[in-house]
Amino acid sequence: MGILLGRQTRVLVQGLTGREGSFHAQQMIAYGTKVVAGVTPGKGGGTHLEVPIFDTVAGAVAATGAEASCIFVPAAFAGDAICEAAEAGVPLIVCITEGIPTADMIRACAYVKARGARLVGPNCPGLLTVGEAKMGIIPPQIAKPGVVGMVSRSGTLTYEAADLLSRAGLGLTTIVGIGGDPVLGTRFADVLPLFEADPATRAIVLIGEIGGTDEEAAAALVPQLSKPVVGFVGGRSAPEGKRMGHAGAIVSGNLGTAASKVAALEAVGVAVPLTLAEIPGCVAKALG
C-alpha cells in the first residue's frame, strides 16, 4: 500500500466513457488498479471496459463501495464533479482536468475540505504507487520499485526524474503529482508528512517550479522530518516578466522566484541540484 493508493483501493472514474477517461482508465486497469465503476450522467446501467456505469457518484459508491475517484471531466463541469465526489463521501479525489476556472476551484476546494476528503489536483498527472496501482496519467514504465518518494508540481519533470532514479537503481515508492495551478487541493506541505510516516520511503524528492510559495512552505517542515529531502526548482532560467506555462507560475515581488525557493530549501539542508540528472547522485549521497 502506498501513502494514498494501493492495489486494493476501489477506484471509480468520473468521465470513464469519454475519450481521455477511456484511454487512461484502460492504462490504470492494465497496471492493476481496481477500477470498480464509471460515472457518466445519462449512461447509467451500461458498461464500458467491462466496468459498470452509473449516472451519479452516489449511486456508484452505494453499489461498489468505491473509495477513490479519478476525474476526467471537461473543465466547465470538473468543479461540480469534484463537489459531487466529496458529497458522496469519497475520501480521495484525483482531478486530472486542466483549465478549470479559478472561481470553480476555490469553491470546490472549500467543499472538499469541509467534508474531510482529500483532493489531488487539478491539472496534475495524478498518483502512482509503484508496482501496485495508479490514478491518472503517469506512465508506469518510467518507475521501478524502490525507496524514494516523489512529490512534484510538474508532470514532465516528474517523468524525467522518475526515469533517472529508476535507472540509477534507487527506484520509487509513490509519486504524487500535485499540479501547477494556483488553487490546489494538495500541496507539498500536505504530502511530506505522508512520506515521513511511510516505512517503505527512505528519501524524498521534491520537484518545484517558479511561482507561488509552496516550496518555501515545504522548507519550513523539513526540519521536522527524519528522512533526507532532495529538491529541484524548475524555471531558474525563465526570463523576468514572461508568462510561463502553468497558471501557478506567477512570481510576486521577491516571493515565488527560483532564487527564493532554492535559498529556503538550502537553508534547511536540502540539496538543490541545478539539473535533473544530478538528482540520483544527491539522493544516493543523502542515503549514505
Q: Is 33 helix (H, G, I), strand (E, B) or coil?
A: coil
Asked if residue 71 lies in contact with residue 82, where contact means CB atoms within 8 angstroms, the answer is yes
Give the residue from 193, 17, 266 showing the smallest Cα distance to 176: 193
Residue with cell 520511503: 201
What gap in Å lies between CA 120 and CA 175, rounded to an integer? 12
Classify each residue of 239-271 as buried b or exposed e, where b means 16 or more C-beta atoms within 10 Å of its C-beta: eeeeebebbbbebeeeebbbebbbebbeebebb
Active site residues: 246
Cell of 255: 516571493
Contact 135, 94 (CB under 8 A): yes
Q: Give Cα separations from 129 to 126, 135, 182, 201, 208 (angstroms).
A: 10, 9, 25, 12, 20
Amino acid residing at 228? P
Nearest to 165 by CA among 269, 265, 288, 283: 283
